[in-house]
Structures are given as structure tokens and as C-alpha cells.
Amino acid sequence: MVNLLADKNQFPQEIYRTMILEELYRQEATARNIELTQCDIDTIWAGVLQIELSEECVFPDDFATQKAEYIAFAGRMSGISETTLEDIAVGRAAYRKVQEAIGNEYIPQDQPAVRTRHIRVRDAELAQTVRQRLDNGEDFMTVLAETTVDNNAAGNRGSLGFYPKGQFVPEFDNAIFSNPVGLIQQPVQTQFGYHVIRVDEIGEMTQQVQMRVILLGTEEDANAAIRFINDGADFADLANRFSLDATSKRNGGLLSPLDRPTVVSQFGDAVAEAAFATPDGQVVGPFQTTRGWVVLKVESKIEFPSQVSSSHILVNTQAEAEAIIERLNNGEDFGTLAYELSIDPSARGYDGDTLAIVTEGRLKGLYIAEDAVREEIDQQVFADGVAVGDIIGPIETRIGFYIVQVEEIGTRAYTDAQIEERRTAYIADWEKAQRDGGRVVETTIWRQHAPIEPLPSDVYPDLVQLNLLLSQARDNIQRNLDNTNIINTLRTLRVNSGQ
């Protein structure tokens, strides 16, 4: 729009075309006997006033006041009369009603659709190997799980992998960090349901220290604190009364358990060395830190795994969880039961479903050509003669090689968003048909009469400069596209916003 406002040729032409379009819709409203209600007109005004309506045709109590103030302001700024503004609103309401009527003439039809699953690999040789394994009768999901590069395509079968403490909800976290390797024999309830948990592997042990600290401003104060403690003063009481650390002093200087790297980052190497070397219950210090002088008391040291690898099966009830534990104790496979029974969607994954993988789980199942899964895939799966069970590929794309299996052929309706897109296109086609059919005749006679002074860019000279900056940016983009790839273009392109 900046280009139009700063261009003596484009700006009047755009106004001319807008006037023609509005007149076309005005005539069409008459021809179709479109009747406007006050609600239709006020809804246009609500949009102008940037009022969001929570309910159709229900306007705020001060709606009339806001409208009157806007009309008065517009009149002062542009000289446009209230009558003209009301006529514009009526015209826009008619425009909208006609567009709705034309759009409703479009009747969407169900489209040919397919449901597929696929395996994506990086190189052609592996793609041929995958195809050969499938042709030899190997299970599709087994081959997919071993070879695909798509995330969540095959599911994790309950395996969560390694995580440090604190990454899960407390009930789950406590269970995996307080049990040995193996199946936990009791279900663990969390906000998500009941978990059957297996600890798969315990990482290296790490140590944490829990201590109390008194933070003081000077070495003299810190030494005085040491003397008081040696004379029998209570450490927690001194921390509460004199520590400069507002957070810990409320708890008598008590800190949460900290590992060595955290102690180093908060207090420095000397404090960390002393804290982990000092026996429990002993006071040590003072130490100078970036925050001040500290005296610390070591309360206790604990060892725990740095990380734990675990698997789980999530179900809705305790009875279901207990039944699964019994089946596992009888020798059934954990991953198989997780795949079949867990309500955690990551356990099953997307089952190789093409639409689910492409949309990251937002959609799944049958898809139509306009879903644009991948053009290269669409060309082959929607080809004549394709049947359920067919394995197609490898299909080469810019992100790898696809081996696709057709699982279902049918029809599917457009999504709501697709219907809106097609209705918009239908309306555009109608407008074009009116022009092509001679109902609209554009001339250049208007150029002899159209006022071009002043343009918006004459009133706001910055628009001209902004137009130049945009033009320079377009030139820079094209020059980079001509001389390098898109990644380098995005890395090197700069816009001088200070001009």
C-alpha cells in the first residue's frame, strides 16, 4: 500500500478500480434484492471502531457515542460529511452481504482421498534396501521403526530415555529416582492417570549438599558471626536476623540441595570445595564471594543418580495399571503393551500415517490432493490404477526418499479452511466473469478528471522515503537471490531502519 500512496499513477487507478467494484456490488445487491438490517450496518461500524462483538448484533452500551465521536473526528480530519460516511457503511454492508450470497452459491463436493503410511530415509541406497525388505514381506512398522527419520512416526513404545531429576511431575520423578532398575510393582498416580513404570538404566551418581548460609557485607561482620556461633549462638537465628540474602534468611539460611556446579556458579570454587569436604553439622568460613562474605553450615550430603532412563504405560484407572503389571510379571513385552494400551500418544506415535507425520499429529487419516502433503507423493498416490496395499517408491524429494504404502482409498470433504479458500476463489472468479462478460468496462477517461494533488505522500513525505527503502530492500533481495542461496540471503540481508 505504501507504493500506491506515493505513486501518482497507481494511486488514482486503484481508487478508480475500487469505485467500479463497489458500484458492481451495489448493482448486484439491487438485482438480488439484498435487504440490509440495522445490525448489518452497525456490524460494519463495529469493525471500523475496532469493537469485538462477543455475540452477533449485541453492541456495547456506548456504541452510539463511539460512533458519533468517530464521525466527528473523521469530519474534522477529512471534511467528509456524516451522510457520506453512513452511505459508505451501507455500501460496505451491501458488499459483504452480496459476497456472502455469491460465496454460498459454491457447493463443496467431497474429493478423492487416500490414507497412506510412509517411511522416509535420507539416501537412495537405503531407500532401495527398505523397498526390497518390504517386497520380501517384512512388517512395514518394523522396517519403519528401524529406518525412518521422521520424528514420532513409529512411537517410542513407552520408552522415555534419560532425563535428569526435576523434568517430570513430582510423583513420577520421585518414583524413578528412588527405585532400582526393573519394574516398579505398584502403579504411580499423577494428574495424567496411572503409570506403570520400569526403570531401565541409572546414570552416574552425583552428590548434592544442603547447607545454611549467612551472607554479610564485610569480612569483619563474617568473623563476628563465626565468634557468635563458636560461643553457642544458633546459626539459623543469626541467619534470620543478620543475613543479607532475603530469600534464605526467612528459612534460617537454609538452601535447597545443590550440586557442585550450582554451588560453584552461586558462590565460587572455594565455597564448593569446602561445602563438599566439610563433615555434616560443621560450620566453615568466612569466604569472599561476588555477593559478599558468607559463612556456611553443612547440614547433609546426599547421593542420587545424575539421570535415569525409564519407560511407562499410562492408563486411566488403577485396576488397568495393576492388570498390566501382572501381565508384565508373566513375561509379556513392555513395549508391545505400551504400544497397544498406553493413552500417552507418544507410545504409539503416528503409526507411519503420512498426514499425521506431515501435520505433526494435528490431522491424520484420509487426505486430499489440496492438503499438499508433498507434490511428488500426490502425483503418484492419486494416479489412475493405484490400489489399496500398493507400495510406491522410492519417491525422491528435496528432503529425502519416501516409500509409501496405500492403506485406504475413498473420499473426504474439504476442511472449513479449505472451503473458505475455495469460496474466496469462487467470488474472485465471479468478479472476473463480470469484467470479461462486458458488465464492467474500464476506460482511461477518468485520468482527465481524477485529482492527483495532493497525494497521501504529499501530505506525509515520509511515505516517499519509505517507498525508496522498500524498493532498495527488494533490489537487495533479488541481488542476493541471483548470487547466492536462500540461507545466505537470510543471513546477509540488512535493512537500514535509521534512514
DSSP secondary structure letters along 49-103: TTPPPSSTT---TTHHHHHHHHHHHHHHHH---HHHHHHHHHHHHHHHHHHHHHH
Residue 344, domain member (yes or no): no
Strand partners, 405: 117, 391
Q: Is there a single domain that holds both residue 12 and residue 91?
A: yes
**Kind and range of the H or E element at 21?**
helix 10-31
Q: Is there a single domain that holds both residue 115 and residue 136?
A: yes
Q: Provide the pLDDT for residue 20.
A: 80
Question: Could you tell me the residue range of the domain that residue 136 belongs to?
Answer: 109-151+349-413
Higher confidence at residue 23 or residue 457?
Answer: 23
Task: Count Cβ atoms below 10 Å from residue 265 Cβ, excluding itself.
Answer: 10
Q: Is there a single domain that holds both residue 214 and residue 242?
A: yes
Residue 263, domain member (yes or no): yes
Q: Is there a single domain that holds both residue 277 and residue 364?
A: no
Q: Provide the pLDDT for residue 3.
A: 45
In this structure, of 164-168, 336-340, 492-496, the range with the lowest mean pLDDT score is 492-496
Higher confidence at residue 302 or residue 444?
Answer: 302
Residue 262, domain member (yes or no): yes
In this structure, of 151-165, 177-191, 272-286, 393-407, the range with the lowest mean pLDDT score is 151-165
The runs of H, that is alpha helices, within 287-385 are 318-329, 334-341, 345-348, 354-358, 375-381
Q: Is there a single domain that holds both residue 133 and residue 49?
A: no
Q: Is there a single domain that holds both residue 53 and residue 118?
A: no
The mean pLDDT value for 46-65 works out to: 89
The runs of H, that is alpha helices, within 268-374 are 269-277, 318-329, 334-341, 345-348, 354-358
CA dist., res. 104 & res. 222, Å (int): 81
102-134 pLDDT per residue, tens: 999 999 999 999 999 999 999 999 999 999 999
> Looking at 413, 435, 453, which one is the last position of a domain?
413
CA dist., res. 329 & res. 335, Å (int): 14
> Looking at 305, 322, 357, which one is the last position of a domain?
305
Q: Give the CATH number, domain containing residue 234.
A: 3.10.50.40
Residue 121, domain member (yes or no): yes
Pairing verdict, β 292-305 and 308-315: unpaired
Q: Provide the pLDDT for residue 448.
A: 55
Q: Is there a single domain that holds both residue 280 and residue 353?
A: no
Residue 77, domain member (yes or no): yes
Q: Is there a single domain that holds both residue 52 and residue 137?
A: no
Q: Is there a single domain that holds both residue 125 and residue 209?
A: no
Q: Is there a single domain that holds both residue 23 and residue 84?
A: yes
1-51 pLDDT per residue, tens: 444 444 455 656 777 777 788 788 888 888 888 888 999 999 999 988 888
The mean pLDDT value for 409-415 works out to: 92
> Of 140, 150, 154, whose CA–CA distance to 406 is shortest?
140
Q: What is the mean pLDDT of the chain?
A: 84
Residue 279, domain member (yes or no): yes
CA dist., res. 351 & res. 44, Å (int): 48
Q: Is there a single domain that holds both residue 140 and residue 211?
A: no
The three-state secondary structure class of 497 is coil
Q: Is there a single domain that holds both residue 76 and residue 134?
A: no
460-490 pLDDT per residue, tens: 455 455 556 666 666 766 665 555 444 343 4
Q: Provide the pLDDT for residue 231.
A: 86
Residue 483, domain member (yes or no): yes
Which grid cell is 134?
A: 518390504
Rounded percentage of the chain residues whose pLDDT exceeds 70: 86
CA dist., res. 258 & res. 389, Å (int): 57
The mean pLDDT value for 66-78 works out to: 85
The amino acid present at 386, given as its one-letter code, is: V
Q: Provide the pLDDT for residue 489.
A: 38
Residue 126, domain member (yes or no): yes
The DSSP letter of residue 244 is S
Higher confidence at residue 464 or residue 195?
Answer: 195
The mean pLDDT value for 321-332 works out to: 94
Q: Provide the pLDDT for residue 199.
A: 94
Name the domain count of the chain.
4
The mean pLDDT value for 257-282 works out to: 88
The mean pLDDT value for 174-188 works out to: 91
CA dist., res. 342 & res. 264, Å (int): 42
Buried b (16+ CB within 10 A) or exposed e, 405-430: bbbebeebebeeeeeeeebeebbeeb
Q: Provide the pLDDT for residue 451.
A: 52
Q: Provide the pLDDT for residue 206.
A: 82
The three-state secondary structure class of 363 is coil
* Strand segments (E) across 66-216: 111-121, 159-163, 182-183, 188-190, 193-202, 205-216
> Looking at 396, 413, 430, which one is the last position of a domain?
413
